[in-house]
Amino acid sequence: MKMKRVKNGGIPYLMLGDEANHVAHSYVTASCFDRSGGIVTARLKEQDAMECLYVRTDLKTGEERILYEDGKWPQFLVWNDKLFHYHGKELLETDIPSGITSCLWQGEYELYGIPSITQDGRYLGVSWYYEDHSTSVSIFDKNTGECREIVRKKFPAPYEWISHVMVNPADESKCFFCHEGDCCYITNRLWIADTAQKTAKLLFRQQMDSEMGNGESCGHEMWSFDGKGMYFVKYISATILPRGVWYVDQASKKAKSIAESYPYWHVGVSPDGRYLAADTQEPTGKSDIVLIDLETGEEKVLARIPITGIHPCHPHPVFSQDGTKLCFTMLGENGRLAVGIISVKDAVGKKMNLQAMNLIEKVTDRMVFGSDTDWGMDLNRFDWVPGVGLCGIFRAFEATKREDYIQYLNRWAQLHAKDAYTQKTINSTAPCIMLLGLYELTGKAEYRKVCQDMAEYILREAPRTIDGGLEHTVTERVPGLVDQMWADTLFMACIFMARAGRILGKKEYTGLAVSQLKLHYRYLFDRENGLFYHAWHGGRKDHMGGIHWGRANGWIAYSTAEILKEAGAFEGRDKILEDAKILFDTLKKYQRENGMFGTVLDDKDAYEEISASCGIAAGILRMVRFGYIGQEYREMAERTIANLPRYIAEDGTVLQVSTGTPVYQEASVYKKIPIAPTLYGQGLMVLALAEV
């Protein structure tokens, strides 16, 4: 194997080649990149012989490892650290780190095409042919081991087959397939199969031109990142204009032109939905790899590569799961196929942050310009829920420099700062984090006074547990929380105390934050499991149910980074860092295949919870940014970040956030906490996106 840097006037790219074999990637539905810095490719002895080896190449070291010796191009895809592939009638899964292959399911017929997978990694789209030339469009459920046929369909000869079976990435009840062929023979090109209805409906019909020719010859369909529609290409042979990349909405069936500056051929979609990557069909034996920015409309050529025009030497650009790279098949040296790999960051530079900035504004505008009065979204209180939202608004100002955000925060402070004295609790201290930043920015004495008074209260008057921890007192009317230490406290009060020590010139404030950090790590950290419990009861000497609550670990992850940053050197700091690394290593084991985390981390049946996921990702990226942990932890957090856009509604509401959660004795109760919009969901989303 040979890895070579190629510069051809565009963006430099890496070319992966083999002197003895043809190297090709999979395409259509498939990512080829794993989450550990490697790529899986097919090695074919002959270009037109589809039998191959599946080989993983480490893109940093060049080290290669054969994962499976009896593969078939292009029947494979990579999702996280799993390789899914067919062998005859078997659907196989190969664990990439160990190389162990297991059979997930075996059917009665030989599987064909390319497997596809949902964003949560649970459902795979599979297909096969029957003896009568009809085709099965089916969904396999990894959790249950069941394979359900959605539809069985056959078209008239000579184009009987269907292909490109792809399960909807966001909705396993929908599956796409196509009817390939020239539109002078086939007009019913794009189809959606529905699991519930067990029917197939036409999504897009190719038109013939006035001469009964290929008016709208199209192909290479790909689901949009959110599963709401399909991208496809009207080929250069189409006579009805415009040609190029199109999008069709699956609900309305309305189609529109997206990009037409080049003679496009195939298209791929970035996992965040911001970019398309397309190749071109030229008569010269060359193809351009073009990046299409869906936000700005820019079409930018990244590279011009040699091709043959014969499968598998179609480029088929495909993004990595984190959106940072894309790969394509090309003609390499000595007439053998090779795989090119381009860094998307190199291609777009600082504009990569633009989508995050837009999302930050969208989520923040939902708070600033909303008029909600319900508990979860009402900013007009001095308490922890609006406090976390206010932290997000201040961070949004730092990221975007939008003056209307700081104007809003000043108005809020003028109206509500005095409410800090109404009911002093640990939880209700959270808005002081924002007030402290506002004081540092404006120098207003009234902000300083509130912050200093609250810091003095926490230092000298706030109740302590028998172990010396701050009791997690709240404004809500709940039974007494005597001797209870909660993970939430580090965020609600101790980030504020750590910063107050620096900004107000009171080292004892930072000292208190450090002591509380140590106590929380001492009493709430499960050293056998590697995760944090929700709480500790000092009087009973137990963890009050012993649940590894997701948001608790998010509070801990983010707060650890902020307190360490403010505190500098202190005795026991190395031990905190050592334990934090254990936490992050453990979190990686419990991270869902779509990058998210469950509301109970070590319970696979617990629903995924976005505020926890955001807190964890933001904490990890802050720790990396400050140099407290290595760059190897960044990939885990970026997997979360890459999928956050799908949890932001059109109006900026952050979705899939659990409401207020007391400490419970059983995991089953945590799994029943309702989902609703909350300001802490909004705030934590901004904190995560601001680290991109």
pLDDT tens digits, 72-108:
999 999 998 899 999 999 999 999 999 999 999 999 9
Residues 478-497 have a mean pLDDT of 93
Tell me the C-alpha distance between 189 and 202, whole Å.
8
pTM of the predicted model, to two decimals?
A: 0.58
> Is the pLDDT confidence value at 352 over 60?
no
Tell me the C-alpha distance between 590 and 607, whole Å.
13
Does the bond joining 156 to the residue before it have cis omega, within 30 degrees of 0?
no
> Is the pLDDT confidence value at 350 over 60?
no
User: What was the pLDDT predicted at 7?
Assistant: 67
**Active-site annotation holder among 272, 279, 288, 488:** 488
Can 249 be counted among the known catalytic residues? Answer: no
Residue position matching structure tokens 């319900």: 374
Residues 391-412 have a mean pLDDT of 93
Q: What is the percent of the chain where pLDDT is above 90?
A: 77
SS3 158: coil
User: What was the pLDDT predicted at 157?
Assistant: 83
Most confident of 45-49, 351-355, 431-435: 431-435
Contact between residue 356 and residue 29 where contact means Cβ atoms under 8 Å apart = no
E-assigned strand segments in 130-243? 135-141, 146-153, 163-167, 174-178, 188-194, 199-205, 218-223, 229-234
> Is the pLDDT confidence value at 345 over 80?
no
User: What was the pLDDT predicted at 44?
Assistant: 96
SS3 658: strand
E-assigned strand segments in 224-378? 229-234, 244-249, 255-259, 264-269, 275-280, 286-293, 299-306, 318-319, 325-331, 337-343
Q: Of 341-345, 379-383, 467-471, 655-659, where does mean pLDDT reach its minimum?
A: 341-345
Contact between residue 71 and residue 111 where contact means Cβ atoms under 8 Å apart = no
Contact between residue 136 and residue 127 where contact means Cβ atoms under 8 Å apart = yes
Find the distance separating the first CA and the last CA of the chain, reported in whole Å: 34
